[in-house]
Structure 1
Amino acid sequence: MEHIIEEMAVIGFSKELFEKERAKETIDRYQQQLHTFAQWVGGRTVTKEITVCYKQWLMERYSPASVNVALAALNGFFDFMGWQECRVRPVRVQRRNYSEPRRELTRQEYYRLLHAARRKGDLRLFHLLETICSTGIRVSELRFITVKAVQRGRADICNKEKYRTILLPRRLCEKLLHYCRERGIAHGSVFVTCSGKPLNRSNIWAMMKGLCRKAQVSARKVFPHNLRHLFARCFYQCQQDLEHLASLLGHSSINTTRIYTRTSGEEHLRQIEKLRLIL
């Protein structure tokens, strides 16, 4: 039996992912990867040999992490179709114990982003940056920062069927309540569009990218999740409590939290040089 990728099969796979309660972003990403693979295959029968060639093609063009996302989509689809013989192994990468300086947002760069937003007169973006960075929440959790939550000083967050309560800094609450009074926001999410709907990921991403030039911060460092990383590093440097940090970030595994606390490459190099093992 020939293995041909058909659109109805991709739709069926997407439906199964939905029924398994996978995140919408994951489903969309898998669909995109499957369409890219189908275009590359060009109507040929899918075999293990072709899939291995596609893996090699990906590795020549993308980072190992991006390649593994694509392969996860393919392997999941192959399992759904019963094409287990077409599965390929993910790329094995030894995890670095330090972060890349060119991707790491520093505290000083964060401050420059805040000043740029304020000079631009965009108080919504200014307070949004402070909220994410001072609480460590995910951008998808920003909708739980409501007027009621700010009044109580804590937000109840539900993400991926996990519930947690985060405490909001008093100074942040004062500033957000003042912002809400000025904007006439009496209930619901604090950060909304002109039509009153909560800001989504793409809105926030575009808003942040618009600050890069004025703040003189590399665009590759400016994205919402990097604010979460900055919160994690600052908290860990201050408290050295990985378990508490994992709870704040909503991680099920401390191993995930360790990624957020890695020192920069420069700091890692300084630590190695302190060993003084070179004459």
Structure 2
Amino acid sequence: MKNRSISGEHLIRFRKRLEDEERSAATVEKYLRDVAQFASFLAGGVVTKASVARWKERLLEEGQSPSTVNGKLTALDRFLAFAGWADCRVRHLKLQRRLFRDSDRELTREEYGRLVAAAGAAGKERLELLLESVCATGVRVSEVRYLTVEAAQRGRAEISLKGKIRAILIPGKLCRKLLKYARKQKIASGEIFLTRGGKSLSRKQIWAEMKGLCQKAGVASSKVFPHNLRHLFARTFYRACRDVAKLADVLGHSSIETTRIYLISTGAEHARALERLRLVS
């Protein structure tokens, strides 16, 4: 056990392993951040099953949600397996499947419309089109780079992520808007959403620009982040086709159980469903 301490070299090699596995940039950064947090908790101590259990308890004492704690343990599990210390892993918390989500986190279609309008009114053409592109196709923010001039011309994008390739259709009206924007920006081929310097937009930049619309659009900041546009797409798509398997394919999910999370109703919707039961005289 005396050699089981986490060093900077460990983290460098762990990063390379994750990148070799073609994990998304966001996943790589999250895993490294969580492992670094555990290393800070150890304060130079050795990694043992007991120390991992203490960290788990500390996270709960700090008031972190069970799902957040499990997410951090997942990252640590991956690192421990990489380091050859899998015997130090501890059990995750058992979670009951959520029946409904908090309404203060769910972006409505009307609020989405206000965000798009606010971006247009502020002269933020790129952001306005980006919001529509993510919400109309359901792509992850890390997949925006696949919305290219060629994809808009074909009406479909080929997305390669996490070792999987899937094709998504791009609505005709969106294709026309993307090509019009590309011509205006003098982009003849390749990625459409670029910085002024011609680089891909980062997740952080997209997140910050979206947050900048909150006050003008009158939408709570807790609802405004890129992945919520994907959630809105999923709910809207499902209401139109009622096919969770097809939706899972469109979203690029390996498991339908993951897709089900996107379709959880709000507390208000759940309450209305209970009222319709009419079980109280």
Residue 134 of structure 1 corresponds to 136
CA contact (8 A) 2:22 2:163 kept: no
1:269 Cα deviation after fit: 1.1
Match 2:190 to one of 183, 188, 213: 188
Residue 5 of structure 1 corresponds to 6
Classify the secondary structure of the residue corresponding to 1:155: strand
Residue 91 of structure 2 corresponds to 89
Distance (Å, rounded) in 1 between the aligned partners of 2:161 and 2:84: 31
1:253-268 alignment to 2 at 5 Å? 253-268=255-270
Residue 59 of structure 2 corresponds to 58
Residue 18 of structure 1 corresponds to 19
Distance (Å, rounded) in 2 between the aligned partners of 1:90 and 1:238: 36
Cα RMSD for the two superposed structures: 1.7
Q: Deviations over 1:136-161 (max 9, x none)?
A: 11111111111121122222221222
Moved more, 193-202 or 73-82: 73-82
Distance (Å, rounded) in 1 between the aligned partners of 2:23 and 2:128: 32
1:164-175 alignment to 2 at 5 Å? 164-175=166-177
1:199 Cα deviation after fit: 1.3
Match 1:101 to one of 100, 103, 112: 103
% identical equivalent positions: 51
Match 1:213 to one of 203, 212, 215: 215
* AA partner of residue 34 (structure 1): V
Q: Deviations over 1:54-87 (max 9, x none)?
A: 1111112212222112212222333333334422
Distance (Å, rounded) in 2 between the aligned partners of 1:16 and 1:126: 37
Residue 38 of structure 1 corresponds to 39
Moved more, 210-219 or 7-16: 7-16
* AA partner of residue 29 (structure 1): K
Moved more, 40-49 or 207-216: 40-49
| Stretches of structure 2 lacking an aligned partner (at least 5 in a row) | none
Moved more, 226-235 or 169-178: 169-178
Distance (Å, rounded) in 2 between the aligned partners of 1:116 and 1:254: 35
Distance (Å, rounded) in 1 between the aligned partners of 2:16 and 2:178: 40
* AA partner of residue 15 (structure 1): K
Moved more, 75-84 or 212-221: 75-84
* AA partner of residue 16 (structure 1): R
Distance (Å, rounded) in 2 between the aligned partners of 1:16 and 1:181: 40
* AA partner of residue 273 (structure 1): E
1:44 Cα deviation after fit: 2.4
Distance (Å, rounded) in 2 between the aligned partners of 1:108 and 1:117: 14
Match 2:252 to one of 235, 250, 254: 250
Q: Deviations over 1:78-126 (max 9, x none)?
A: 3333334422111111121322211110001100101110110001100
Match 2:126 to one of 107, 124, 127: 124
Question: Given the superposition, is the C-alpha separation of residues 9 and 206 from structure 1 closer, same or farther in structure 2, using an over 3 Å criterion?
Answer: same
Question: Given the superposition, is the C-alpha separation of residues 118 and 140 from structure 1 closer, same or farther in structure 2, using an over 3 Å criterion?
Answer: same
Q: May I ask how many residue pairs the two structures share in their alignment?
A: 279
Distance (Å, rounded) in 2 between the aligned partners of 1:158 and 1:9: 28
1:30 Cα deviation after fit: 2.0
1:13 Cα deviation after fit: 3.2
| Stretches of structure 1 lacking an aligned partner (at least 5 in a row) | none
Distance (Å, rounded) in 2 between the aligned partners of 1:278 and 1:250: 42
Residue 114 of structure 1 corresponds to 116
TM-score by length of 2: 0.92
Distance (Å, rounded) in 2 between the aligned partners of 1:48 and 1:164: 40
Distance (Å, rounded) in 1 between the aligned partners of 2:196 and 2:6: 42
